[in-house]
Amino acid sequence: MDHENDSFEALLNQQDEKPLKRLSPGQKIQARVVGIDNETIFLDVGLKSEGIVNSSEFTDENGELTVAIDDLVTVYYLKSGGAEQLFTARIGSGADRAHLEEAYRSGVPVEGVVKTEIKGGFEITLSGSVRAFCPYSQLSIRRVDNPAEEYLGKTLNFLITKYSEGGRNLVVSARALQEEEMAQKREELKESLKVGDTCEGTIGSIQPFGLFVDIGGVDGLVPASEVGWSRVENLKETFSVGQIVSVMVKNLDWENNRITLSIKETLADPWEQGIATIKEGGVITGQVNRLAPFGAFIQLVPGVDGLLHISKLGKGRRINHPREVLEENQSVEVTIESIDPESRRISLAPSDYVSEEEAAEKERNDYRSYVSDNKKTEDSSMGSLGALLKAKLDEKKK
């Protein structure tokens, strides 16, 4: 027992020797939920006294709590309140100007409503009546074609980046918070994400050159060439913002904050199935997928294209571009000239195409046939004349 008492006393002494953590106003930490009591959530923040935060900061739009005992939450230290430490997830709509100034100096997020679009950005309402300005560039980390349609009326979290004239001149940024959160999530992903990994993401923005997809707080780009095996002319007709897609990580460039993703690599390869139905020498009706200066790409089956070279178009007439005789989406009957499985290339020709060699050979054959027919006629004529002369001679002999 004495030995046990000694060990317990040693543990207490060891605990007392640990230096107490000191928190600065606005400091961001992770804390564990250790208790929930009506309007208060109690947190283990690594200090002798517990931290507290208002439960309303962790409720959804239906008023339901979004955290439970043992959950980890991100909070900001405000100040000491007697035996307790006061924390917040953000300063809400009930705050006064003094709280807003404290939020500005401490870097604590504030809650605001995107109220009105004005010159250069949006008017944001904080604390129910305090007006602030958010430039277009600071509203979101993502590029949005119509920010007014996307954000007006929405409640967002902001950082106060400018506080002057006693709070009458406020500038806020939602982007600064988003960048901070993204940086943290990027560090977490650095440890786990690898090239070749497949994961789910949410389309956050659609641009002519590709899709920006959120894969857990970090955006990656799916280039237009990687959205599928077939070419997609208008991405907005095929995809939508908020759509969940499966993507494969093709490239990770953490230094330049570039993550390249592919939807195509998660889909079945149409070549393997489609090529089984295509044979060299066969005739098939395809669709003009794309016109290039050197020829036309013809879709033979979904996901499998062949090239109809410009030299085989025009029916013997020289043309400068395939658009002179073809147009996109046009149906065309073609002959499969050759298939190269390794390079995945298929050469095509119009079904009525005749090459120069074939045309020359046809001319030679036509000439030979003509000569042969004339000779037969001459031989036949000569034979008839000889018979007539022989008959005349025979009559004279009589």
- The CATH number given to whatever domain includes residue 229 is 2.40.50.140
Task: Tell me the per-residue pLDDT of 245-287, one tens digit each, with 9 for 90 and over.
Answer: 999 999 998 888 889 999 999 988 888 777 888 888 899 999 9
- Confidence label for 227 from pLDDT (cuts 50, 70 and 90): very high
Q: Look at residue 9 and tell me whether its pLDDT is greater than 60.
A: no
- Confidence label for 331 from pLDDT (cuts 50, 70 and 90): very high
Task: Tell me the per-residue pLDDT of 363-372, one tens digit each, with 9 for 90 and over.
Answer: 566 556 655 6
If asked whether residues 223 and 249 sit together in one domain, one would say: yes
- Of the candidates 88, 112, 139, which is a domain's last residue? 88
Lowest mean pLDDT across 71-85, 146-160, 199-213: 71-85
- Looking at per-residue pLDDT, the higher value among 378 and 111 belongs to 111
Kindly provide the residue ranges of all beta strands, DSSP E only, lying in the chain, ordered along the sequence: 28-37, 40-44, 51-54, 72-81, 84-88, 110-118, 121-126, 130-135, 155-164, 169-173, 198-207, 210-214, 219-223, 244-253, 258-262, 283-292, 295-301, 304-309, 331-340, 345-350
Domains held by the chain: number: 4
Which residues, at least 6 apart from 205, have a Cβ–Cβ distance to it below 8 Å? 142, 143, 144, 211, 212, 241
Task: Tell me the per-residue pLDDT of 242-252, one tens digit each, with 9 for 90 and over.
Answer: 899 999 999 99
Is 1 a domain residue? no
Is 48 a domain residue? yes
Q: What is the mean pLDDT of residues 131-138?
A: 93
**Core vs surface per residue 335-348: b (16+ CB within 10 A) or e:** bbbeeeeeeeebbb
Q: What's the pTM? A: 0.52
User: Domain range for residue 29?
Assistant: 21-88
- Confidence label for 94 from pLDDT (cuts 50, 70 and 90): low
Is 16 a domain residue? no
